[in-house]
Structure 1
Amino acid sequence: MLWLSLFFVIGFIAIHLFSKNMLFLKALPRSRFLSIAGGISVAYVFLHLLPELGVFQDELQGEVERTAWRFLEHHIYVVAMLGLVIFYGLEQMVKSSKRRRDKAGGQNSRDGVFWVHIGSFAFYNALIGYLLIREEYESAWGMLFFFIAMGVHFITNDKGLRATHKDDYDRYGRWLLAVSILVGWGIGALTEVNELIISFLTALLAGGVVLNVLKEELPEERESRFSAFCIGIIGYSVLLLLL
């Protein structure tokens, strides 16, 4: 399914480059699509990524007993929690930087914090690009569902990053994120990373997705739609369970 994965990578890149032209994302109260997208992403994490971590944990039993990674044998979910904490810490760092900049009368966010924040999402995207080609899908449908879940998640992330970093995101950020997906896919096409590392990175991704969805859905000023969120999470859960 190499060519199919490349097709989906191009789709991911197009989302980052052209999401700013999706006018319905600018609507207030919050577009129902964004809340549906959040539900889809959360459903994918809890019904696919987290169960997959359980499989990884079973496969690791005994293999890492005498290594520095032996805690993963029984605590892979701790890494998912760590992913959530890392992205939460990054968000707090960005907010603190923005408050200081606003007090100083700054107009943009292109400083060290901007590059750290965008760099973390570039790593996040590269991992998704890698998993797109290296994930063991049972069929092309499995790859399609991964693309849908991560694609709508990218749209939500783009909106949040654009609101935070403004012109800097369009000038630099979206291009870096687009390229990072292709880099991750290229690494996956050319080499296979150790399964222990992939289990660790998948856990970080799961925690990051949950945090990034919640930070967009929970704040009151987002005017999120609970009913739309439920439609997304229930509808996509049914599809995943049928698959």
Structure 2
Amino acid sequence: MSSLVAAFVLASVHVFAGRLRQLNRLPRSRWLSMAGGVSVAYVFVHLLPELARGQEVLGGSDWWLLSYLEHHVWLLALLGLATFYGVERVIKVHRRRLPADQEPHAGVFWLHIGAFAIYNGLIGYLLIHGENSSLTTLMLYCVAMSLHFLVNDFALQSDHKGLFRRRGRWLLAAMPLAGWTLGLASEVSELAVSALTAFVGGSIILNVLKEELPEERDSRFSAFLLGSVGYSVLLLSVQGS
């Protein structure tokens, strides 16, 4: 039941984020920068150590392809990063060809939203099969991913305008619940969980940093640092207890 509540919390971010219009401005809201810092801290302090453990799981696999790829867990993280980098490049090139207030072509819109829908579904799936065995770790995961979804929501609104508000956000809101349902109905190996965790970890890093680094965003480094350091301290204190 706790994981189901977490799935609803994740879904609600996309439903209600549009009401926080004061965050959608330049220079970038310090709250969004802080949210990005929390997400990145979760990846580096919690997910990447899990990837190190997952490397041992995958390294002992009898599947010839995984045995051949000596550092396959890290390559899966790189694949997640590269996948979303490629999608973002397609979107940015397309946006530059359009007037600022014009909605993108439907095919480009659904490519972008489809990628994030799968991404949200994987995050929902890991509510069941990820490293969330206790209520505390589940809450830490839910908080970090909720803030990450908030950052993604404003980025997608900026790219797709009204089309995202009318259609995209509802699909993205449904996917954590769909992923949770799939996780409840299916049993997967520890190898598969490690692979999914790796892919999601790399994707989170790219999706946060692409919003923080561009000069035109005028991001708030102090807020990003506060979020990342503060959440790192919280994660380390929980892990050490």
Q: TM-score, normalised by structure 1?
A: 0.93
| Corresponding residue to 1:230 among 200, 225, 229 | 225
Structure 1 equivalent of residue 3 of structure 2: 5
- What residue number does 1:123 align with? 118
Distance in 2, matches of 1:199 and 1:130, equals 12
Question: 1:64-111: CA deviations, max 9, x gaps?
Answer: 3x4222245533111111211111110000111122334xx9821142
Matched, 1:56 2:54: yes
Q: Structure 1 residue runs of 4+, over 4 Å off?
A: none
Alpha-carbon contact 1:57-1:72 (below 8 Å) kept: no
Structure-2 separation of matches of 1:72 and 1:125: 27
Which stretch of structure 1 is more off in the superposition, 8-17 or 195-204? 195-204
Partner of 2:71, secondary structure, is helix
Distance in 2 of aligned mates of 1:71 and 1:167: 46
Q: Normalising by structure 2, what TM-score?
A: 0.93
Q: Are the equivalent residues in 1 in contact too, given 2:80–2:202 (CA < 8 A)?
A: yes
- Sequence identity percentage: 51
CA RMSD of aligned residues (A): 1.6
Counterparts of 1:119-198 in structure 2 under 5 Å? 119-198=114-193
Change over 3 Å in CA distance of 1:148–1:51 after alignment to 2? same
- Residue segments in structure 2 that go unaligned for 5+ positions in a row: none
Counterpart Cα distance in 2 of 1:164 and 1:78:
29
Change (3 A) 1:72 1:46: farther
Letter in 2 for 1:114: F
Q: How does 1:104-123 map to 2 (within 5 A)?
A: 107-123=102-118
Aligned to 1:83: 80
Equivalent-residue separation in structure 2 for 1:95 and 1:27 (angstroms): 19
Report the number of matched residues.
238
Does the 8 Å CA contact 1:110/1:168 hold for their aligned counterparts? no
Structure 1 spans left out of the alignment, 5+ residues? none
Q: Distance in 1 between matches of 2:69 and 2:179?
A: 24
